[in-house]
Amino acid sequence: MEAPSFHSDRIDADRIDELVELLDLQADLPGIRRMRQWAHEALAVRAGERALDIGAGTGSEALVFAERVGDAGAAIGLDPNPAMLAVARRRAAAAGLCARFVHGSVYHLPFPDASFDAVRCERVYQHLDDPAAATAEIARVLRPGGRVLLIDSDWYTAITHPGDPAVVEALGTAMLADVPNPASGRRLRGLLAGQGFVIDDQGSEAVIWDPVTARPLYQQMNEQASRYGTVTAEEFERFLADLDAGIERGDFHLSVTMFAVLAHKP
């Protein structure tokens, strides 16, 4: 699960390798794997269908679509970052899978009305200033009876241990200050219902991060907190010392809950 301040359309090309490495590490987290497996089973994309993955990132989930739809269908991944699209295209070619990757925004999907049987969107809504407009666009490109699966984090469910609770709270507050929609996970159902979708199922996963994946997030949180002046260098060093001591003795926890909602267009 990416740190919420990673807006992929704002990542410079020379930082793409850093982002890709982080996304690959996150994709290996057991909680992410379980959530994605559940999501694909719930969405149940079939041979011959047209499926769209919004916020495709490295392309991994669009490639799952490509395997499922086969030659008679279409698997498309959409992302706002050209450098990330290049990564996804290289990985699709290496895997020998026919997935197409398209540049675009969830606010203006570059597809005709009623052109997809299934749409998937993971961890995009937390970055959106107008999630209702994005949901309306998803409704537009889905055919009647088409399915949508939204997945996102609720960053107010995050738990960090060990560490001074006041410092942990200050770090978290600073990190979320620039996130448009940090509680997006809890709002997915209402957004879909507001666009007339019929809710079919819901799922959740408390994704537990390992130290290797968590350490870069804490560094990023400190950068944000330093800008806002909410955590001193000394406080952060003490926090890191407590954290590293906990990791050393096996007493460490970082989790955040992800929620998923499956719906269909009447």
Each residue of 71-127: pLDDT tens digit?
A: 999 999 999 999 999 999 999 999 999 999 999 999 999 999 999 999 999 999 999
Q: Report the C-alpha gap between 4 and 56 in whole angstroms.
A: 16
Each residue of 132-168: pLDDT tens digit?
A: 999 999 999 999 999 999 999 999 999 999 999 999 9
Do 79 and 8 form a contact (C-beta atoms < 8 A)? yes
CATH 3.40.50.150 given to domain 8-153+181-206+258-265:
yes
Residue 6 has a pLDDT of 38
Q: Is the torsion defined by CA of 146, 43, 149, 204 positive or negative?
A: positive
Please report, for the chain, the start and end positions of each structural domain, with discontinuous segments joined by +.
8-153+181-206+258-265
177: DSSP letter: T
Q: Report the C-alpha gap between 260 and 257 in whole angstroms.
A: 10
Q: Report the C-alpha gap between 28 and 244 in whole angstroms.
A: 22
Residue 164 has a pLDDT of 95
